[in-house]
Amino acid sequence: MSVRPIQETLARLQGGLFLSECSDKLAECVRGVDETGKAGKLTITLDLKKSAGAIEIVAKVTNKTPEPRPDSDLLWPTVEGNLSLDNPNQRKLDLRVADSKPAEIRTIDMSTGEIKSA
């Protein structure tokens, strides 16, 4: 008696769509594990029962893909109980926009010592 490889049976389930779904779920799980460094899990379940002389198979694939941790924000509490982007205990700097006019370029003639503008 020759036993068929399981992949042949899996390829027949749901008209071939089940194996495709398994591949998609596996790829999704692999990406999640790679991005988060956390463990993932792929579960393929085949429920079999006899039905009018045949074998009825209900195939299901699930994955537990690790979720990436959401980005956090750092806000500062104020005495009023609000949150601020700026640290209320830190002094403000008087920052201004610099002139956009390019500075004059000067060169020195080494033989005469004369300063020339370019």
Which tens digits make up the pLDDT trace of 45-57? Answer: 999 999 999 999 9
Domain boundaries, the chain: 6-64
- pLDDT confidence of residue 19: 94
Place of tokens 């806000």: 75
pLDDT > 80? residue 103: no
- pLDDT confidence of residue 113: 82
pLDDT in tens, 68-82: 888 888 888 888 888
Look over the chain and give the mean of its residue pLDDT values, rounded to a whole number: 89
Handedness of CA 106, 107, 112, 113 (dihedral sign): positive
Tokens for 96, please give them.
């201004």
Question: Residue 49 in contact with residue 55, Cβ under 8 Å?
Answer: yes
**How does residue 39 score in pLDDT terms, banded at 50, 70 and 90?**
very high
Spacing of C-alpha 12 from chain mean position: 34
- pLDDT confidence of residue 118: 66
pTM for this entry: 0.58
Report the alpha-carbon distance of residue 118 to residue 109 in Å, rounded: 12
